[in-house]
């Protein structure tokens, strides 16, 4: 498989999509980013790296962090986790509070905001130094010591994060948040704020594709079976209410963020990260979605 | 891989679940079936068949037919299909009419009742002899000439099928049914009524696992890419509001029916059919779900 | 109170609204009616009649019939009725099927379609000759022997009445319809199809305003308390999801129909009927609503 | 009308209900109140007061305050108010956040929590000294200078008021809260916390029943038409999702609070307040509801 050739072809074929969509408008910091960026990086299990475009520029990973937080929590709580969160696709917009009301404060899955807020609460209860340990985990995953929180972005998101404040209060009302709501919100927005580039993000997801090495980073250890299960959740829940569409067109487990990043894994083959800030109406990167669709079409490899 | 050994182990390990759940109560004909049946049959791409338990007794495939109907319609309409049906998980009970109301008559996906009713309408509009052609397709798929409709069951289901009648009328109200509602209901219930045994059902799903041979049966032809996409839809939508749970625990594309059958595929490896009439609260076979979970655990092979 | 003067003033003041809104488009027969009609007629308890405009032309009373059907059923079943129907406002569009799904087939109140379909089912179970007895009741109420069903309209409504067919099937699915769904639909559409003019309609509602005479017409007898309770239901539920608006602006119990008619009562004072076919987005007559608002403003009499 | 006699009869007839229901459990302060209290007080337009039972003991008026806040805001903004709040019954539980999500942050009416929070926001924007002016208004209404906030209760409610915090954040997210959410919550809980006894509460509602005197108290002035409209809103929206039931059984505009109080008006006749802390499942006083039903039955006077 000549991945360099494929990444080149993808780059050319997605040009018609280059000006479609728009960056997230509700997070002031994200609007400052040049929307024309595009980068893609792929790491194979054999240790090769293939990169194309703006792969060294860091962006805010936003909701992609939810996978990392899930890994940390699943490692500590195991199946106890599922008493407080489901594994079903949400079937609604990424910020729906309705299902929460109907289902008495049990979020549908850990990859929607409500679920990630409960995961955040769990980490606060479980870890001695949640903020430090999360950073350590991410740094070890991608092998990069200078990954940082963007405090300024986290603060700015909290100030306008009324929907997440509504969600966390609903969860607290239903007894599914144990810590102080402001503490949960602070840590949640910090998780989302960290900046990574495509190389780092792809490397961070490689262990989810790799069933041959043990998953053990910064105190977070997962069995092969647990890694597969995280992949299964990404597959069915990773793209808000476009999860089916992504599964249908791309056929890989993955997770998107409103910063325009998408990370995906092809189990036993490779991990890939793509970044382009313009989003479609569902909040997923237009070029990123298209690039990954072309990737599995051209390689003729997907999980199906 | 010693599949015979694995099927034997599975059989022993699921015994604790043998009396859990209950057969579907709302379809009179299904209640006449002995609930203690259990059969499992697996066909590999290499042409081997492994069977255990009641694999020669036919049962009503019910909603498993939705995959077959999707294949027929997708073959004829291609991507035009997605103007009338989505590919997103429904995130609600299998018979929810609410989403239909909210989304103006566009069913979430082809594997819920609403979606299958629209598919049925499409087949009626597209085929010259829908009932004959469906039967021909199924017979060729499983290589068995005496697969039949159960007219009696179809009639009995129509007589008490008020929820499906409500759904099809809602669809018609929103303009997403072109033919007469009674004609659509009749053909829909006929599709569900056909009897197959585990051997036949497993064989019928083998072409969905097989990317090496062209998919062409009784006038229905699909490209490899289309087959993969049907698998993707089964993966995210095949188990009503337990799709995430099945994906999480089993990790294979599949489809269940209230007759207690489940068909699943491990792409490029095998197809499998399991049958046990007792259902859990979500309408999926208790022993069937557990058997498939053990199968992917023991083989250590899933799509993730 | 010089009602003639008031009706004249109202007529002049509503002219700016004369071309606002549009007749119901989903019932073919209703579209044939000249949309420029306007009539209003008021009957006082003292026996006076005041009329203005097109008060002798009959129109289809449509949902106003729901009050009459409620009166017939309440007379026969008394409070047993409330086991199958609620008295709460629906808080949603007049044809919402969602609440029905959430509340297991118990319609919110008798004045929405679902509730009226259950009432129709009750009349079929209770009366020997439902169609004849309904007609007799209406004729006696308004003192007019030639009130008729419009069979043609009823048939035409059934043919395109997919939403009501969906609703009645949902009700049947939940066990809240005892008779055949087609029989229920037929009688339901017949009830709606009868033609009355403003004089007849106003006279038919006078007994609901009148607490001094016993309510007894064509076999339907109600106590004063029961009449008041029907008024209370009209007050909170008579205008679909504009019930609050009507209560707020007009302040009288009443009921509208998509034929453009509205009947209302001022308890112990008068009954009034107004007709103008152009409807607002909620399905209520634009000029009718405005005329009644002006009526209670000018008379300075409402229930509040 | 011998009201003393009627209040006596009511007292006797409601004894069977004396131990039904339970005080609100989610507000710690309310649980300290002796649940066996019962008091009723009625003021006629002719200036007579009729009292029975515990009419001199103050209780927390809770949501009854929503009527008073509506009066203050309506006086200042007039019909501008309805750009931010509707007048339709909510048709759902008193704390439903779903409708808010569906209707983009416009509360159904001013008497549910969401609506009262928007009203509170409006008062903060409009008044110079909201907390003082609210207290002045209430004191003038009931003619009692020592009506006070219960700061302790307000603080305690805020500490556990996660649902209201969720609602106000949802409103803020949709742009329908202009001030700081904590400031809104503080004033909201203060409004609810004031203690009044039945005599005071009945007197405070008398001006809503009285169309002969101008409504002008502590800077809040309303026209007769505006007073009637507040009555109309109480009628359709005053009892959460039991508004229809109250309208049906009692037939008076009114408002309940979880402290067990109910205030109601019979326009042009009287105002009445009743208090008993045990609530039914919908959050309304069991004995209070029954007492008012008996009152309109025995007097044979209601708005219908």
Domains of chain D, by residue range, sit at 3-60+195-299, 63-193
Model confidence band, residue B99 (pLDDT cutoffs 50, 70, 90): confident
Residue D103 has a pLDDT of 84
Nearest Cα of chain A lies from the Cα of D297 at a distance, in angstroms, of 38
Q: ipTM for the complex?
A: 0.93
CA dihedral D152, D155, D159, D163 (to 10 degrees): 110
| Minimal-distance CA residue of chain D relative to A164 | D169
Dihedral class, residue C251 (left if φ above 0, else alpha if ψ from -120 to 50, else beta): left
- Fold held by D3-60+195-299: Beta-lactamase (3.40.710)
Taking the alpha carbons of C51, C137, C32, C157 in that order, is the dihedral positive or negative? positive
Residues of chain A found within 8 Å of residue D97, distances taken between Cβ atoms: 97-98, 101, 166, 170
Q: What are phi and psi of D195, to 5 degrees?
A: -100, 135
- Whether residue D95 has pLDDT greater than 80: no
Helix (H) or strand (E) holding C255, with range, is strand C254-256
| Minimal-distance CA residue of chain D relative to A105 | D163
Give the residue among D26, A295, A229 at the shortest CA–CA distance from B304: A229
Task: Kindly list the strands in the beta sheet with D39-44, ordered across the sheet, starting from the edge strand earlier in the chain.
Answer: D49-53, D39-44, D270-275, D261-266, D254-256
Give the residue among C30, C34, C9, C7 at the shortest CA–CA distance from C19: C34
Nearest Cα of chain C lies from the Cα of D240 at a distance, in angstroms, of 10
Inter-chain contact D169–A181, Cβ cutoff 8 Å?
no
Residues A176, A172: Cα–Cα separation, whole Å:
5
**Residue A275 DSSP SS3:** strand
Residues in a beta bridge with A41: A51, A273
Model confidence band, residue C163 (pLDDT cutoffs 50, 70, 90): very high
CB atoms within 10 A of CB D213: 10
| Minimal-distance CA residue of chain C relative to B165 | C169
Residue A245 has its nearest CB partner, among B88, B91, B242, at: B88
Residues C178, D254: Cα–Cα separation, whole Å:
38
Q: What is the mean pLDDT of chain D?
A: 95
Mean pLDDT of D167-196: 97
Model confidence band, residue A45 (pLDDT cutoffs 50, 70, 90): very high
Mean pLDDT of B72-88: 97
Residue D94 has a pLDDT of 46
Q: For residue D267, with 0-12 CB atoms within 10 Å meaning exposed, 13-18 middle and 19 or more buried, which class applies?
A: buried
Mean pLDDT of C265-282: 97
Inter-chain contact A173–D181, Cβ cutoff 8 Å?
no
Residue B174 has a pLDDT of 95
Residue D87 has its nearest CB partner, among C99, C237, C244, at: C244
Residue A93 has a pLDDT of 56
The CATH code that applies to domain C3-59+196-299 is 3.40.710.10
| Tens digit of each residue's pLDDT (9 = 90 or more) over B162-180 | 999 999 999 999 999 999 9
Inter-chain contact D98–A96, Cβ cutoff 8 Å?
no
Mean pLDDT of D25-39: 91
- Whether residue A299 has pLDDT greater than 90: yes
Residues of chain D found within 8 Å of residue A101, distances taken between Cβ atoms: 96-98
In the block, which residue shows the tokens 């003991």?
D57
Size of interface C-D (CB pairs under 8 A): 107
Q: What are phi and psi of B262, to 5 degrees?
A: -140, 130
| Tens digit of each residue's pLDDT (9 = 90 or more) over A250-267 | 999 999 999 999 999 999
Model confidence band, residue C103 (pLDDT cutoffs 50, 70, 90): confident
| Tens digit of each residue's pLDDT (9 = 90 or more) over B8-47 | 999 999 999 999 999 998 888 888 999 999 999 999 999 9
| Tens digit of each residue's pLDDT (9 = 90 or more) over A67-113 | 999 999 999 999 999 999 999 988 655 457 778 888 889 999 999 99
- Whether residue D93 has pLDDT greater than 70: no
Q: What is the mean pLDDT of chain B?
A: 95
Contacts of B200 (CB under 8 A, 6+ apart): B58, B142, B144, B147, B273
Inter-chain contact C97–B97, Cβ cutoff 8 Å?
yes
Residue A100 has a pLDDT of 84
Mean pLDDT of D192-210: 98
- Whether residue B95 has pLDDT greater than 60: no
Question: Mind giving me the DSSP string for C33-51?
Answer: S-TT--EEEEEETTS-EEE
This prediction's pTM:
0.94
Residue C1 has a pLDDT of 80
Residues A246, A239: Cα–Cα separation, whole Å:
7
Residues B141, B77: Cα–Cα separation, whole Å:
20
Domains C3-59+196-299 and C63-193 belong to one CATH topology: yes
Model confidence band, residue A26 (pLDDT cutoffs 50, 70, 90): confident
Mutate to test the interface with B, among C162, C177, C184 (most CBs of B within 10 A): C162
Residue B97 has a pLDDT of 78
- Whether residue A58 has pLDDT greater than 60: yes
The CATH code that applies to domain B3-60+197-299 is 3.40.710.10
Inter-chain contact D169–A165, Cβ cutoff 8 Å?
yes
Taking the alpha carbons of A219, A223, A226, A227 in that order, is the dihedral positive or negative? positive
Mean pLDDT of B244-268: 97
In the block, which residue shows the tokens 């792969």?
A55
- Whether residue D91 has pLDDT greater than 70: no
Residue D101 has a pLDDT of 81
**Residue A27 DSSP SS3:** coil
Model confidence band, residue D284 (pLDDT cutoffs 50, 70, 90): very high
Q: Give chain D's length.
A: 304
Inter-chain contact D232–C225, Cβ cutoff 8 Å?
no
Mutate to test the interface with D, among A101, A121, A176 (most CBs of D within 10 A): A101
Residue C240 has a pLDDT of 81
| E-assigned strand segments in B194-293 | 195-196, 215-217, 220-222, 254-256, 261-266, 270-275
Inter-chain contact D232–C245, Cβ cutoff 8 Å?
no
Contacts of B74 (CB under 8 A, 6+ apart): B81, B222, B226, B229, B230
Model confidence band, residue D92 (pLDDT cutoffs 50, 70, 90): low
Dihedral class, residue C40 (left if φ above 0, else alpha if ψ from -120 to 50, else beta): beta
Under 8 Å between Cβ of D227 and D215 = yes
% of chain A beyond a pLDDT of 70? 98
Residues of chain A found within 8 Å of residue B248, distances taken between Cβ atoms: 87, 229, 232-233, 236
Residue A243 has its nearest CB partner, among B89, B231, B304, at: B89
The one-character DSSP state at D22 is B
Nearest Cα of chain B lies from the Cα of A190 at a distance, in angstroms, of 28
Model confidence band, residue B94 (pLDDT cutoffs 50, 70, 90): very low
Residue A99 has a pLDDT of 81
Contacts of D101-106 with CB under 8 Å at 24 or more apart are: D101/A96, D101/A97, D101/A98, D101/D170, D102/A98, D104/D174, D105/D170, D105/D171, D105/D173, D105/D174, D105/D175, D105/D176, D106/D174, D106/D176
Under 8 Å between Cβ of D271 and D203 = yes
Inter-chain contact C228–D90, Cβ cutoff 8 Å?
no
Inter-chain contact D169–A163, Cβ cutoff 8 Å?
yes
Mutate to test the interface with C, among B96, B103, B162 (most CBs of C within 10 A): B162
Mean pLDDT of A176-184: 98
Size of interface A-D (CB pairs under 8 A): 49
| Tokens representing residue B286 in the block | 């208790």
Mean pLDDT of C116-143: 98
CA dihedral C206, C209, C214, C215 (to 10 degrees): 60
Inter-chain contact C243–D236, Cβ cutoff 8 Å?
yes
Inter-chain contact C228–D304, Cβ cutoff 8 Å?
yes
CA atoms within 13 A on the CB side of A289: 26
Residues D158, D27: Cα–Cα separation, whole Å:
10
Mean pLDDT of A287-294: 98
Residues D235, D230: Cα–Cα separation, whole Å:
9
Q: Which CATH class is domain B63-193?
A: alpha beta
Residue C169 has its nearest CB partner, among B98, B101, B166, at: B166
Under 8 Å between Cβ of B58 and B194 = no
Nearest Cα of chain D lies from the Cα of A230 at a distance, in angstroms, of 30
Q: For residue B159, with 0-12 CB atoms within 10 Å meaning exposed, 13-18 middle and 19 or more buried, which class applies?
A: exposed
Mutate to test the interface with A, among B232, B249, B293 (most CBs of A within 10 A): B232
Distances (CA, A) of B44 to B2, B80, B210, C39: 12, 33, 9, 77
- Whether residue D170 has pLDDT greater than 70: yes
**Beta strand D59-60 pairing with D195-196:** antiparallel
Residues C76, B178: Cα–Cα separation, whole Å:
42
Angle (deg, nearest 10), helices D113-126 and D130-142: 110
Nearest Cα of chain B lies from the Cα of A199 at a distance, in angstroms, of 23
Helices (H), C174-257: 181-193, 198-209, 224-237, 243-249
Dihedral class, residue A267 (left if φ above 0, else alpha if ψ from -120 to 50, else beta): beta
């Amino acid at each position: 498989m000549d991945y360099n050739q494929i990444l080149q072809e993808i780059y050319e074929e997605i040009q018609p999509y280059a000006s479609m969509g728009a960056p997230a408008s509700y997070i002031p910091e994200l609007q400052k980013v040049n929307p024309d960026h595009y980068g893609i990086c792929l790491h194979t299990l054999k240790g090769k790296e293939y990169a194309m475009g703006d792969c060294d520029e860091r962006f805010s990973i936003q909701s992609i962090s939810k996978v990392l937080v899930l890994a940390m929590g699943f490692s500590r709580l195991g199946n106890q986790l599922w008493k407080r969160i489901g594994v079903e696709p949400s079937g609604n917009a990424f910020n729906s509070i309705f299902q929460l009301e109907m289902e008495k404060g049990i979020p549908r899955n850990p990859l929607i905001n409500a679920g990630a807020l409960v995961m955040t609460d769990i980490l606060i209860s479980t870890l001695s130094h949640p903020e430090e340990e999360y950073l350590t985990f991410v740094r070890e995953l991608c092998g990069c010591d200078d990954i940082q929180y963007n405090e300024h972005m986290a603060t700015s998101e909290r100030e306008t994060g009324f929907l997440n404040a509504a969600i966390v209060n609903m969860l607290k009302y239903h007894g599914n948040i144990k810590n102080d709501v402001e503490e949960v919100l602070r840590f949640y927005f910090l998780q989302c704020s960290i900046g990574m580039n495509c190389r780092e993000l792809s490397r961070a997801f490689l262990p989810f594709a790799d069933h041959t090495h043990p998953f053990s980073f910064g105190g977070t250890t997962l069995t092969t079976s647990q890694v597969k299960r995280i992949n299964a959740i990404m597959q069915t829940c990773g793209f808000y209410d476009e999860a089916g569409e992504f599964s249908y067109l791309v056929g890989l487990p993955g997770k998107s963020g409103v910063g325009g990043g998408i990370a995906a894994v092809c189990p036993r083959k490779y991990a890939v990260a793509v970044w382009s800030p313009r989003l479609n109406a569902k909040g997923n990167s237009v070029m990123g979605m298209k690039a990954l669709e072309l990737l599995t079409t051209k390689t003729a490899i997907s999980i199906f």
